[in-house]
A and B are shown apart, each in its own frame.
Chain A
Amino acid sequence: MLTVYPKKVRLQSGTSVTIRPMVKEDADKLYAFFSRVPREDRLFLRDDVSIRDVIDSWTQELDYRKVLPLVAEVGGNIVGDATLHRRTFGWTSHVGKVRLVIDKDYRGKGLGTVLIEELIDIAKKAGLEQLVAELMSDQTGALSAFKRLGFEKEAVFFNYVKDQVGEERNLVVMIKNLRIEPAMVLF
């Protein structure tokens, strides 16, 4: 399933990006990547990635069956991190969750779309049936990218999450059914 990596892709801008699963040796690069992520974006993450120990615990405890992290690399720097989370047990073991962080300089270039497409592919091969993504309703770029990839808005939690200044925002839960593939997506 992961034998296709490392994989080279070309973005719309012509930049060549290498996509591959995260390895133990990525700790330094990953820490540098997350340090470049603006504070307001770090808040969307579950853990405080400005703490080195958090990054180290990820890279040291890699278990692709539970969390599959794909990184995008340009010239030795990580510029994107997309993760597929799944449970090995229970009522939602057929469901995967995707999370995505893209370097500020590489947004709006289709890199997020490329990474999510890779995760969709991996999820299908792993036999998952649903993919979930959680976004803030103000992340319009990401919302429309997920929509183009076949994710549908399933629920909106009104004023449920808080941004970096403590302001309440809406949480949008998007779900993609991996078993049903639309014949054609109109833009």
Chain B
Amino acid sequence: MLRIYPKQVSLKDWTKVTLWPMEPRDEARLHEFFCRIPEEDRKLLKEDVAHRAVVANWCRQIDYNRVIPILAEAGGKIVADATLHRRKFGWLQHVGEIRIVVDPEYRRKGLGSLLIEDLMLLAIDSKLERLFAELVASEIAAVRAFERVGFERMAHLPGFARDQNNTPQDLLLLTADISTANQPETYFYSF
């Protein structure tokens, strides 16, 4: 499943990007990447990635059965981190969650969409049936990227999230049904 990596892709502006699953040796560069992410965006993450210890912990506990982190590199730097999270047990074990962070300088080039597509294919390969994503409604470009590949808005929670100024922001919960993708003669999306 992960054998297709490392993989080279071209963005809209022909920038060459390499994608591969995170390994322990990526720790320092991943931390540098998160430090380049503006604080307002970092606040939207679940953990405080400005702390080296948080990143170190991820790199020490890599378990692709639980979390598949795909990193993107361009010009010698990590420029995006996309993760597919799943549970091994319980009523949500057929549901995967996607989270994506892209370097501000590499946004609007289609990199986020490419990563979402890659994670969707990995999710289908690992027999997941549904995908979930949580986004702040004001991140319009990100919401569109998810909707383009088949995610639908399941809930709109007004004022549920807080940004770095403690201002309420609407939260969107998106899901995609990928359960038919493993059936023969069904095409999930066209290239």
Contact = CB atoms under 8 A, between A and B. Distances in A.
Given A90-B45, A91-B136, A160-B175, A47 B89 contact: yes
A161 to B, nearest CB: 4
Contacts of A47: 89-90
Interface residues of A, number: 27
Interface stretch (B3-11, B19-27, B161-169): B161-169
A130 B90 contact: no
A155 B43 contact: no
Interface string B153-179: 011010011110000010101010000
A92 B173 CA distance: 13
A46 interface: yes
B163 A91 contact: yes
A155 B157 CA distance: 9
A7 interface: no
A173 B94 CA distance: 18
Contacts of B171: 91
Nearest to A163: B91
Given A45-B89, A48-B90, A91-B162, 14 more contacts: A43-B90, A43-B91, A46-B90, A89-B48, A91-B161, A93-B162, A95-B160, A155-B155, A157-B175, A162-B91, A162-B93, A169-B91, A173-B173, A175-B160
Interface of B: 43-48, 87-95, 130, 136, 154-155, 157, 160-163, 169, 171, 173, 175
A90 B44 CA distance: 6
Contacts of B94: 162
B157 A175 contact: yes
Interface of A: 43-48, 87, 89-95, 130, 136, 154-155, 157, 160-163, 169, 171, 173, 175
Given A130-B160, A155-B157, A157-B154, A90 B43 contact: yes
A121 B106 CA distance: 45
A126 to B, nearest CB: 15
A94 B162 contact: yes
B89 A46 contact: yes
Contacts of A87: 46
Contact of A89 (B46, B90, B92, B169): B46
25 contacts: A43-B91, A44-B90, A44-B91, A45-B90, A46-B87, A46-B89, A46-B90, A46-B92, A47-B89, A48-B89, A89-B45, A89-B46, A89-B48, A90-B46, A90-B47, A91-B43, A91-B136, A91-B163, A130-B160, A154-B157, A161-B92, A162-B91, A162-B93, A163-B91, A171-B91
